[in-house]
Amino acid sequence: MNGGSSDESVGDLGGENALPLRERKKRATRRRISDIATELFGERGFDAVTVAEVARAADVSAMTVFNYFPRKEDLFLDRIPEAADLLATAVRERAPGEPPLAALRRLALRLADERHPLSAVGESYVPFWRIVIGSPALRARAREGVEEVETALAAALADAGTPDPDLLAALVVAAYRTVFVTTARRHLAGEPVARVAEDHRARLEAAFTALERTGLGRRPAD
């Protein structure tokens, strides 16, 4: 569920401007390292670039790189934590009385409308997907990332008192992933961006409508 560099291309989604200066500097360093790594991977391929080379290009030590990114794959798939946080936060900070699925639908549609990297909408992300497709290590990490996002969402749903939180999280993530992958494939095939974006939004609406009709996530009193 990731989409490339950690630049905030659609606004301050994480409230970064309100963070202490030290934390803002840490985030800026993380972004810079990831952006440099992404550029190197794009030029030479993921498997041909070492962490040491990324560190030299970013003018930091290899240890510093690993402090921010536990694995080389995380340098490229750096939005996995953001995806997990966005879904969990949508559930935890939803309006009083709002069902979790309604909050997750709003988030998914907002990401699509803003052309956020996690939405897959936009042909500018095609080079990113080509790099992932070309690397078995990245594909494996992406699958692990999906599991991490699902686990984070299930925990948030459980905290909200949602019945069957593990099942609901699995279905939500599977539905979103299916829409994401289809949209990415259509962009890779060169289909018109506007048509793909319109269909992407419609498929998200259909997916969440289908999930809501199952009755999953509702408490007996809902």
The secondary structure of 108-135 as a DSSP string is HHHHHHTT-GGGT-SGGGHHHHHHHHT-
Mean pLDDT of the chain: 90
pLDDT at 4 over 70: no
Report pLDDT for 105: 97
The answer to whether 30 and 68 are in contact (CB under 8 A) is: yes
When pLDDT is cut at 50, 70 and 90, the band that residue 222 belongs to is low
Structure token pair of residue 189: 């095939």
Residue-wise pLDDT for 88-109, tens only, equals 999 999 999 999 999 999 999 9
- 45, 64, 112 from 108: Cα distances, Å: 30, 34, 6
- The predicted structure's pLDDT at residue 19: 77
- The CA-CA-CA angle for residues 40, 42, 45, to 5°, reads 85
Give the contacts of 102 (CB within 8 A, at least 6 positions apart): 94, 212
DSSP state for residue 210 in the 8-state scheme: H
Question: Per-residue confidence at 220, pLDDT binned at 50, 70, 90?
Answer: low
Contacts of 181 (CB under 8 A, 6+ apart): 120
pLDDT tens digits, 166-206: 999 999 999 999 999 999 999 999 999 999 999 999 999 99
- Is a pLDDT exceeding 90 seen at residue 207? yes
- pLDDT for the residue numbered 14: 46
pLDDT in tens, 127-151: 999 999 999 999 999 999 999 999 9
Residues ≥6 apart with Cβ < 8 Å to 126 = 187, 188
pTM to 2 decimals?
A: 0.85
18-66, pLDDT tens digit by residue?
778 888 999 899 999 999 999 999 999 999 999 999 999 999 999 999 9
CB contact burial 74-105 (16+ within 10 A = b; e otherwise): bbbbbbbbbbbbbbbbbbeebeeeebbbbbbb
Residue 18: the pLDDT is 72
